[in-house]
């Protein structure tokens, strides 16, 4: 098994687990939803469905184009949920006990671009920075 394949399977599993939690424990996600998001219950439900669909497409071995589309969609998804992560951090830091604290939130913020890149790279939508360079 290659590193890329292993990370693709790991990412698919993580998105499937996240999708499960979005569908079975929506209250957790509704608490961190920014107030400007319309119909938050539906958004949480649809994000769970999107995570399941992305995980399934990412995990299937037969179609490179489907995997690449899943990688692009999951990267865009991770970009779109970033405001909720920032909102969650701001809510926590405003609490007297600072909620989860900076030890949780700062790595989460720093890893979001890595998650975006990983979805693209693991799905083979991009090769950067590992492609062979001409001599």
Q: What is the pLDDT of residues 93-123, one digit of tens each?
A: 999 999 888 999 999 999 999 999 999 999 9
In a domain, 24, yes or no: yes
In a domain, 118, yes or no: yes
3-state SS assignment for residue 34: coil
pLDDT band at 84 (very low <50, low <70, confident <90, very high): confident
Count CA within 13 A, CB hemisphere, residue 94: 7
In a domain, 98, yes or no: yes
- Is 28 within the bounds of a domain? yes
The answer to whether position 130 is within a domain reads no
Cβ distance 22 to 40 under 8 Å?
Answer: no
The domain tally of the chain equals 1
- Contacts with 40 (C-beta within 8 Å, 6 or more apart), sequence order: 30, 33
The domain of 77 spans 3-122
Within-domain flag for 23: yes
Region 80-84: mean pLDDT is 86
């Amino acid at each position: 098994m290659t590193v890329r394949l292993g990370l693709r399977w790991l990412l698919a599993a993580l998105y499937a687990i996240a999708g499960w939690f979005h569908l079975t424990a929506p209250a957790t996600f509704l608490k961190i939803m920014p107030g400007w998001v319309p119909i938050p219950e539906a958004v949480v439900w649809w994000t769970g469905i999107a995570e399941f669909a992305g995980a399934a497409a990412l995990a299937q071995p037969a179609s490179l184009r489907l995997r690449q589309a899943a990688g692009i969609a999951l990267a865009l998804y991770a970009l779109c949920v970033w405001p909720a992560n920032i909102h969650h951090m701001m809510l926590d830091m405003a609490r007297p006990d600072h909620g989860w604290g900076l030890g949780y939130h700062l790595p989460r913020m720093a890893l979001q671009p890595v998650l975006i890149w990983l979805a693209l790279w693991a799905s083979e939508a991009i090769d950067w920075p590992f492609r062979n360079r001409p001599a």
